[in-house]
Structure 1
């Protein structure tokens, strides 16, 4: 299908906005209030859209409107499309400052505990760059998500992306002083007497650590699971169990004494933290500025990026 043909299929932006608002509110009147239009204007926009599509989008019963199956599917797609248009518009507007916008996906705990405290230095050096943050804990499709770059933990296996290694990771067992006293934890084997807190994206963490100590991994998954390391750390502070976490993410709790390391048995991960971004965006000024600054923060030179493979 040629672009000219595609363009002929595009409804007006006003009709799409009217439809999306009506679908979200389940009301033409409330959609009109949101868009500063009359109820009649919304109704006419939606009717014109239905006529151009050749399918009904709403069922109209007295004063109520409900989406048809076709309307439900179309509303989800249009909502996403309008969101992308708004995001692209904000990105374009940011170029008024000659810097641009970077839409960055970060790991939640790494972002809040390691990256964000360091960002004042970046913005002092690059006030022309705007960073919009999103949290992602698993790889995703850059095009579908509308994101420019991501800080990712694991291997550099991200299709179509360039990757720069930032740092490795040292994992340590930690617990609250109260739990250590209550469970009598003095040696590695004693962790088997406690609940082992899990991080959902690292299901092998406890098993790997137990095997390194020569202990049976059978109880490695015997404990509650959390999606973020910040939640794991807080659960450990509350005495819910032993945690195994990257040391750099619990430095504050270690300094305050809320968590302690009962024995010096770290596990060095064979994976690491990576900055990844689509190959075609490697020369975008916001990515270049952030990449160079981030690598310097991690004490790394600027090497040629790794071209990732599926």
Structure 2
């Protein structure tokens, strides 16, 4: 059955004309004549049986339908361009499209990824930020790293590591003290992590404290944001130490109290069941588990 899709040339001409709201500028951008742009858009309007532009002596202006359609066309053309560049860049290489939570990717995975590249130069790993589970069937992702309970339908889960966050802050908040008691921490501004809303409550409960304001304070979506806020003396934050190794080493952040918050949740590598036999993914899985175990081993 033939698809009901206009010509690519017409869509590209329309997208450029809609973006500029000018046939002349679209023609200049695409190295075409203005009459060629007019013909392409005219054929598109005829195909759709919808007026996309209102013409006047002063120029053209998108109709309501034209504005709506232009936004959708632009998104689809961008997606086609990304996919095309991706295929051109692969040149037959084995590519893993990995979705992962951002701070874990930048602070823990990326500093180690060179080792995987050296061991498996035939495999390319592309990273994209995703903070929530999704349907693999609706995306081009081959695997994902996320923090949770491994309850992700249609996937094989491989545990990497726990978070075990510690209270950290700027050295200025501690002053000359070696550490702060739970009672002292309760008096400081508590920096909250959006996806861990009960973290401070759980930490204080572990210390047998009931702190009425344990869920108050500014909220940040990423641990990297929490770290920046803590370094700027805005309060104290619960952050997994493996995400702030450099900040701790350089004393821009210090551990305010050695009690770590334990959690049944962990970081997992999730691979869709239909891809578990992929040689590239198996190599990446084995390397990633090796790296995570090597990191956790010294703390046991």
Give the TM-score normalised by the residue count of structure 2.
0.87
- Which moves more between the two structures, 201-210 or 99-108? 99-108
Q: Say if 2:14 is the partner of 1:19.
A: yes
User: What displacement does 1:126 show?
Assistant: 2.4
Structure 2 equivalent of residue 131 of structure 1: 125
Q: Say if 2:158 is the partner of 1:164.
A: yes
Distance 1:284 1:26 in 2: 47
User: What displacement does 1:137 show?
Assistant: 1.9
Give the TM-score normalised by the residue count of structure 1.
0.85
Structure 1 equivalent of residue 48 of structure 2: 53
Structure 2 equivalent of residue 306 of structure 1: none
How does 1:232-247 map onto structure 2 within 5 Å? Answer: 232-247=226-241
Distance 1:123 1:274 in 2: 21
Q: Say if 2:78 is the partner of 1:83.
A: yes
Q: Say if 2:214 is the partner of 1:220.
A: yes
Aligned Cα RMSD in Å? 2.5
Structure 2 equivalent of residue 211 of structure 1: 205
**Using a 3 Å threshold, how does the CA distance of structure 1 residues 206 and 53 change in structure 2: closer, same or farther?**
same
Structure 2: 5+ residue stretches without partners: 295-300
Structure 1 runs (4+) deviating above 6 angstroms are 182-185
Distance 1:72 1:132 in 2: 34
Asked whether the 8 Å contact 1:183–1:193 carries over to 2, the reply is no
Q: Say if 2:66 is the partner of 1:71.
A: yes
Asked whether the 8 Å contact 1:184–1:190 carries over to 2, the reply is no
CA displacement 1:83-126 (0-9 Å, x = unmatched)? 332333344335534x2332222222111110111111111122
Structure 1: 5+ residue stretches without partners: 301-310
1:153 to 139, 147, 158: 147
How does 1:1-310 map onto structure 2 within 5 Å? Answer: 4-5=1-2, 7=3, 9-97=4-92, 99-181=93-175, 186-299=180-293
Structure 2 equivalent of residue 308 of structure 1: none
SS in 2 for 1:40: helix
Asked whether the 8 Å contact 1:165–1:272 carries over to 2, the reply is yes
